[in-house]
Amino acid sequence: MSKREELRQRFSTEFQPFYQGRLRAFAVALAAVALFAYGLVSLDITFSRIANGLGELLRMVTLMFPPDPGTWTRTGIYLYAMLETVCIALLGTLIAATLAFPLGFLAARNTTVNRAVQFFARRSFDTLRGVDILIWALIWINVVGLGPFAGVLALSMSDLGVFGKLFSEAIEAADEKPVEGILSTGGTSVASVRFGILPQLMPVLLSQVLYAFESNTRSASIIGIVGAGGIGSILSEQIRTVEFQQMSFVILLIWATVSLIDIACARLRFSIIGARAL
Interface residues with another protein (CB under 8 A) are 32, 35-36, 38-40, 42-45, 49-50, 52-54, 56-57, 60, 83-84, 86-88, 90-91, 94, 126-127, 130-132, 134-135, 138-140, 142-144, 147-149, 151-153, 218-219, 221-222, 225-226, 229, 235-236, 239, 247, 251, 254-255, 258-259
Which amino acid is present at 130? Answer: G
Angle between helices 244-273 and 72-107 (to 10 degrees): 40
Q: How far is the CB of 182 from another protein (least distance, A)?
A: 19
Q: How far is the CB of 53 from another protein (least distance, A)?
A: 3
Select from 88, 82, 107 the least CA-distant residue to 147.
88
Q: Cα dihedral angle (262, 263, 265, 267), rounded to 10 degrees?
A: 160
Q: How far is the CB of 189 from another protein (least distance, A)?
A: 25
Residues near 92 by beta carbon (within 8 Å), at least 6 away in sequence: 151, 152, 153, 154, 155, 156, 159, 216, 220
Beta strands in the chain (DSSP E): none
Which is nearer to another protein, 1 or 242 (by Cβ)? 242
Which is nearer to another protein, 170 or 254 (by Cβ)? 254
Residue 10 exposed, middle or buried by CB count within 10 Å (0-12, 13-18, 19+)? exposed
Residue 147 exposed, middle or buried by CB count within 10 Å (0-12, 13-18, 19+)? middle
Which is nearer to another protein, 171 or 222 (by Cβ)? 222
Q: How far is the CB of 176 from another protein (least distance, A)?
A: 25
Residues near 66 by beta carbon (within 8 Å), at least 6 away in sequence: 245
Which is nearer to another protein, 100 or 225 (by Cβ)? 225
CA angle 264, 270, 271 (to 5 degrees): 95
Q: How far is the CB of 159 from another protein (least distance, A)?
A: 14
Which is nearer to another protein, 53 or 76 (by Cβ)? 53
The 10 Å CB-count burial string (b at 16+, else e) for 101-120 is: eebbbbbbeebbeeeeebee
Q: How far is the CB of 115 from another protein (least distance, A)?
A: 20
Q: How far is the CB of 167 from another protein (least distance, A)?
A: 19
Which is nearer to another protein, 116 or 143 (by Cβ)? 143
